A and B are shown apart, each in its own frame.
Chain A
Amino acid sequence: MKTRTIKVETLARVEGEGGLHVTVKGDAVTGVKLRIYEPPRFFEAFLRGRDFREAPDITARICGICPIAYQMSAVHALEDAFGVRVEGALRDLRRLIYCGEWIESHTLHVYMLHAPDFLGYQDSIRLAQDHPEEVKRGLRLKKAGNQIVTLVGGREIHPINVKVGGFYKVPTKAELATLVEPLQWARDAALETVRWVGGFPFPEFDRDYLFVALRHPGEYPFNEGRLVSNRGLDIAVRDYEQYFSEEHLEHSNALHSVLKGETSYFVGPLARYNLNFDRLSPLARQAAREAGLGPVCRNPFQSIVVRSVETLYACEEALRIIEQYEMPDSPAVPVEPRAATGCGCTEAPRGILYHRYRVDEQGAICDAKIVPPTSQNQRAIERDLGDFVGQHLDLAHDELTWRCEQAIRNYDPCISCATHFLKLHVDREA
């Protein structure tokens, strides 16, 4: 029987690098492997012995695209350990800075990494040649997210203003007001983006995913909530490790997460959207409907529309927070370390990001566990590829290869996050 191998040694246009290997025998898929070329656990080891106050700054280095997510999960985990609650304006500022990161990350992915796939372009350069106004719109929309992160976080790439208990410095109402005009433009641009991507051609693909996301009684989730699924899971973040475990598969340096009793689960915008549709703003829900989405979307190719809807929501949420903001008396609440273990789980742009720290009575970190969203999606990605290839074996080799790459990009995987680092080493096999 003839064996076809579709091998893409390194994938273009995902954050970091990864490799895909699919084996087909006759008309059946016999193997799918998503390869991550990274050594694991560097940052978890690096955190050992460091003072807890360093955790936000150290973990922020794990990902250049989502440093805020790492900082938020870190501070919430440590605040959980020390019995600290951050409320009111400080809590709002954390949601605001997270809005900035979602806008940046989603917009970068939608315009520069994923839209080229749907429009038949090899890369964003060729997209920019034919659609310069759209690309300019995307870059300016991303910049609006940057502006939030810079103003609240203190520096664009690795924000320096976030700490356990709150912030080092908080903005005045006037300073936040400078964001209003760019964000009003951004909100309109985000709506245009939903309409633009809503018109893309989407392959038919539907899977009965097990979705996992945070859910909160009063808001679309960023930093707080319970962990829920579409099949009855409803647990506190503190119970994460009783339900989720990690397995190391020999072809990948990332640990694959599994929900005990299940074979794969799916985190990220689609999971959030399906489990929290009613928490979106009216405008975001309306835009989703006009773009052809119902309250539930199970087609991963349409995740580009969901990301655009979330971007629109983030613009609106940012404007809402800025409008009602009153500068707090203190930039942070007091924090006293104690010997304890704490957990935090927040919604990074790509999905739930779990941190757990064990700290001694001086506040030194004894050990840390960090589970990024992309590593949690590994199995789901592999399964999707297996299903997708199985359904499209009639396609020509190059076309099928390109479609497999596109399928992986549906997850907006951050390979460098999944293994905490990027190492580039391309094995050139004959």
Chain B
Amino acid sequence: MSATFEPPFAAAQRPLVIGVGNRDAGDDGVGLVVAARLGERAAGAFRVLEHSGEGADLMSRWGEAESVVLIDAVRSGAEPGTLRRFDATAGPLPALGFRHSTHAFGVAEAVEVARTLNQLPRRLIVFAIEGANFAAGAALSGALERRLPYLAEQIFGELQTLSSESR
């Protein structure tokens, strides 16, 4: 809990980073791990939320900020550790990229339902990180572990852009 008073409009102006995934399923946790790393560098410039990816709840969280950055693992056959960026407010997410989801009503569906209901945030940037191993109880695979600094740096750059846009 914060001890300082923060007017609500200030919170909405800061980008919201949502790391999506499951730490108990190998590379499915990479979204959470990257989000946590970003949180260490936030210094109040943006907020970080860790989330399971349940779509209906994600939709209600988007309402908390004007700009949202969502980070999730995907399985699409690309090289493990590949980072792809989608501007979800500009058009539909490619369905195949998000076949990997721990819930049937997950990220991709939530984005499209929100679009239909006019409930997307003003900006929604989705970062998809290609995972290799999603086994129960597995640790993050070596390929992703090595890429963490790069992944965090790329997304941090996006956050800096979003922060400067909102001023």
Contact = CB atoms under 8 A, between A and B. Distances in A.
Nearest to A16: B102
Contacts of B51: 157
B116 A38 contact: no
Interface string A204-239: 000000000000000000000000000000000000
B104 A64 contact: no
Interface stretch (B5-13, B34-42, B130-138): B130-138
Nearest to A111: B56
A69 to B, nearest CB: 15
B113 A42 contact: no
Contact of B25 (A142, A422, A426): A422
Given A125-B112, A128-B116, A132-B116, A424 B24 contact: no
Contact of A424 (B53, B57, B100): B100
A416 interface: yes
Contacts of B137: 42, 46, 421
Identify the interface centre among B22, B55, B100, B137: most chain A CB within 10 Å of its CB.
B137
Size category, B interface: 20 to 34
User: Which size bracket describes the interface of A in this complex?
Assistant: 35 or more
Contacts of B135: 39, 423
Contacts of A157: 51-52, 54, 57
A420 B102 CA distance: 12
A128 to B, nearest CB: 4
A64 B56 contact: no
A156 B135 CA distance: 25
Interface in A39-92: 39, 42, 46, 61, 64-65
A421 B136 CA distance: 6
Nearest to B26: A423
A422 B54 contact: no
B99 interface: yes
A291 interface: no
Interface stretch (A7-15, A26-34, A193-201): A7-15
Interface string A397-430: 0000000000000000000100111111110000
Nearest to A419: B136
A234 to B, nearest CB: 36
Given A112-B56, A139-B59, A422 B116 contact: no
Interface in A121-140: 123-125, 128-129, 132, 135-136, 139
A61 B25 CA distance: 11
A132 B117 contact: yes
Nearest to A415: B104
- The interface centre, meaning the residue of A139, A158, A420 with most chain B CB atoms within 10 A of its CB, is A139
A132 B51 CA distance: 25
Contact of B53 (A12, A64, A129, A136): A64
B24 A112 contact: no
A396 B144 CA distance: 45
B160 interface: no
Nearest to B102: A422
A366 interface: no
A350 B109 CA distance: 23
A13 B53 contact: no
A95 interface: no
A151 interface: no
B24 A15 contact: no
7 contacts: A13-B105, A15-B104, A16-B104, A46-B137, A125-B109, A128-B113, A424-B99
Interface of B: 22, 24-25, 28, 51-57, 59-60, 75, 99-100, 102-105, 109, 112-113, 116-117, 134-137
Interface of A: 12-16, 38-39, 42, 46, 61, 64-65, 108, 112-113, 123-125, 128-129, 132, 135-136, 139, 142-143, 146, 156-158, 416, 419-426
Given A14-B104, A61-B22, 8 more contacts: A64-B52, A64-B102, A124-B113, A125-B116, A142-B56, A419-B136, A421-B136, A424-B134
